[in-house]
């Protein structure tokens, strides 16, 4: 089995659940790190769903739930002394 590192493309998030990445057929994906940056002037929240093929986003497949990101901040926050929010590797 070969392993190919790949970055999920940067995208502006929407106010509703949307698909930002779909794993190719017959592959397994390992999420090692997710980073979200809030460039707005007010706090925003982010929810991440790990949806199986043919499924829909819902409470049974939430990976990150309503994580608040302060204005001008990022998740994970890598500033000195700030909290970090690791995402454990997940197979999809």
Residue 61 falls within a domain, yes or no? yes
Structure tokens at 57: 């986003």
Q: Judge whether 92 and 48 are in contact, CB under 8 Å.
A: no
| Dihedrals phi, psi of 30, to nearest 5 degrees | -110, 120
Structure tokens at 86: 């690791």
Looking at the structure of the chain, the number of domains it has is: 1
| Dihedrals phi, psi of 50, to nearest 5 degrees | -110, 95
pLDDT band at 88 (very low <50, low <70, confident <90, very high): very low
CA dihedral sign, ordered 88, 6, 8, 57: negative
pLDDT tens track for 63-82: 888 999 999 998 875 544 44
pLDDT tens track for 1-54: 677 777 777 888 888 888 888 888 777 777 777 888 889 999 999 998 888 888
Residue 84 falls within a domain, yes or no? no
3-class SS at 75? strand
Residue 68 falls within a domain, yes or no? yes
Quote the domain boundaries for residue 44. Answer: 36-75
Residue 60 falls within a domain, yes or no? yes
Residue 52 falls within a domain, yes or no? yes
Residue 56 falls within a domain, yes or no? yes
Residue 41 falls within a domain, yes or no? yes
């Amino acid at each position: 089995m070969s392993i190919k590192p790949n970055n999920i493309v940067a995208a502006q998030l929407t106010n509703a659940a949307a698909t930002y990445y779909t794993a190719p057929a017959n592959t397994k994906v390992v999420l090692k790190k997710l980073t979200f940056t809030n460039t707005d002037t007010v706090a925003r929240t982010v929810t991440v769903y790990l949806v199986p093929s043919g499924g829909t986003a819902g409470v049974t497949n939430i990976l990150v739930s309503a994580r608040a990101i302060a204005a001008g901040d990022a998740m994970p926050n890598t500033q000195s002394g700030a909290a970090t929010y690791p995402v454990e590797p997940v197979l999809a």
